[in-house]
Structure 1
C-alpha cells in the first residue's frame, strides 16, 4: 500500500507540475509579446502549484505570525525541497537556490524561466552578481526567500547563517523578515527527520519517493514578529541566526501545535 501511495503521489506531482507550468509558459509568452507585466501571472500559477502539490502530497500547512507581503526579503532555515512547495503556497516569492539545480533535467529549465536566482557558492566572485539579482528581483509583486544555512539539514539544530547574500538588505537598510519552518509526519509514518527532511546521501528521486509514501505531513511556518535591520551583513546574519534559533527553541519541542496556528487552505 505504501508503495502504491508513493507511486500515485509521485506521478500526480509530476503531471500537475508539467500541466501548471505549461499553462504559465503559454500565458507568459503572450504577455511578453505585448510587453505586459508578468508578475501577477507568475504569482498566480506558482501559488496554484504550491496549493496543488501540497494537496497531492497530503501536506497541511499551518502558519503562526504575520505573512509578509511584497516587496520583502525573508530568511529561513532549510530542511527539504518541500520548503519550496510550502512557501509558494503562502508567499509571492522567488528563491535563491544552489547552482546545481539549474542543471537538473526539466526542473532546471523551469526554475530559470520562473526567476529563481542561482548561486555557485564555490565561487566567491559569484556573490556580487547574485546580490545585484536579488536587488532587481524584489518588486511590488514578489519578494525573495533566502536559506542562509547554505544547505538542507535534519532540523535538529539551526546551522550558522552565511552572510554573503545579505549584502543588498544591509547596504540598502532594508528590513529583513525571518521564519522557522518545521515538519511533523503523520502518526503512522516514519518520523519527519528521515522522511521529509532531505539530508545525508539520498538522491532527490529516491528521497521524494520515500516522502511520497507518507500518509500525511503537517508543515509549520513560524514568522518572526519583527523585521531586522543592520548595516553590516555579518551583524545582520548573526542577529537573524539568533532569532530563527529562538523560534526553533520555542516551537520545535511543541507536541500539539494546531491550536497555535492557522491552517492555510488557499493562497492569500
Structure 2
C-alpha cells in the first residue's frame, strides 16, 4: 500500500511540474517537450527501465508496434515523442483522456464505419505536420508470448502512403516481467493499474526499433501490415505468419 501511495504521489508531482511548463510553452507558441518528459517520467515512476535497440525516427514516420499494456504508451512516448492512435472511449476517461490530448492523441471509433474517412483524414493531417504517430495494429493487448493477427484496416492511412512517410516497426518487450505486466483478459483498467503500481522493484522494458521501410514498396495495407508484423516477430519472437 505504501508503494502505491508513493508512486501516485510521484505521478502527481511530475504532472504538477510539467503542466505549467507545457502551458507556458503553448502560450509562447513554442514546440512543447513537456508531454514527452511527463510520459517518460511516468514510465520511470512505474518501474520501467528502458533499453533501446535501434534508432527511432523523429518525424514523417508511422511506428507500428505490438501491444502489451497501457504502459506501452508512456514507455514509447518517453523515447520517441510520438502521438498515438487510441480508442475514442479513452477520451471520456477523467484526467486520463485530457492528458492524452496534451500528447496529440488521435481518437478513433473503430466500429464506426461511417466515420472512417474523417479518421483517416485526421491521421493524414497529423502526418502532414511531420508528426510521428504510433499505431497498435493488434487492436488489443496480448500476453507477450506471441503476436496477435494485425488488423490491416488500422493502417488505412498508409493506403496510399502520404509522401515521404516511412514505416518503422517496433517490438515492446518486458522480459521476465511480461507475465506479470501484460494486460490480458477482462481485468478492469483500474485493477491492472493498481497491480502495476503496487509491484515491487523495476523491470526492463526493451524497445527494439527495426529498420524502417518505405510503404510504397509494399502496395496495399495488407502487405504493409504483413511486412511490419514479420519484422516485429523477427525482432523478438512470435509467429511471423498469420491471417491479417
Which residue in the other structure is 1:182 paired with? 173
Counterpart pick for 1:213 among 189, 198, 212:
198
Tell me the distance in 2 between the aligned counterparts of 1:113 and 1:55.
19
Q: In the alignment, what sits opposite 1:12?
A: 10
Deviation digits for residues 202-254 of structure 1, max 9, x if unmatched? Answer: 2222211211122111100111124242221111112212221222328xxxx
1:134 alignment partner in structure 2 = 123
Asked if 2 retains the 8 angstrom alpha-carbon contact of 1:53 and 1:85, the reply is yes
Q: Cα distance, 1:171 vs. partner? A: 0.5
Residue in 1 that maps onto 2:241: none
5+ unaligned residues in a row in structure 2: which ranges? 239-244
* Runs (5+) with no aligned partner, structure 1: 186-190, 251-268
Q: Is it true that 1:231 corresponds to 2:237 in the alignment?
A: no
Structure 1 residue 45: deviation in Å? 0.5
Matched with 1:264 is none
Q: Contact 1:10–1:209 (CA<8 Å) still a contact in 2?
A: no
Q: Secondary structure at the match of 1:85?
A: helix
Shift of 1:7: 2.2
Residue 85 of structure 1 and its aligned partner are, at CA, apart by 0.9
> In the alignment, which residue of structure 2 is the partner of 1:69?
58
SS of 1:81's equivalent in the other structure is: coil
SS in 2 for 1:74: strand
Counterpart of 1:24 (choices 22, 25, 28) is 22
- 2:40 is aligned, of 32, 37, 51, to 51
> 2:237 matched to 1:249?
yes
Q: Does 1:97 align with 2:97?
A: no
Runs of 4+ in 1 over 6 A off after TM superposition: none
Superposition deviation, residue 177 in structure 1: 0.9
Q: Would the aligned equivalents of 2:69 and 2:183 in 1 still touch at CA under 8 Å?
A: yes
Task: Say which is worse superposed, 239-248 or 146-155, in terms of deviation.
Answer: 239-248
Distance 1:207 1:18 in 2: 24
Inter-CA distance 134–140: structure 2 relative to 1 (3 Å threshold): closer
| Alpha-carbon shift at residue 167 of structure 1 (Å) | 2.3
Residue 49 of structure 1 and its aligned partner are, at CA, apart by 0.8
Question: Over residues 30-52 of structure 1, what are the superposed CA-to-partner deviations in whole Å (9 max), with x where a residue is unaligned?
Answer: 24xxxx3x4x21xx102211332
- Counterpart contact for 1:175–1:228, Cα < 8 Å: yes
Structure 1 vs Structure 2 CA RMSD: 2.0
How high is the TM-score relative to the length of structure 2? 0.87
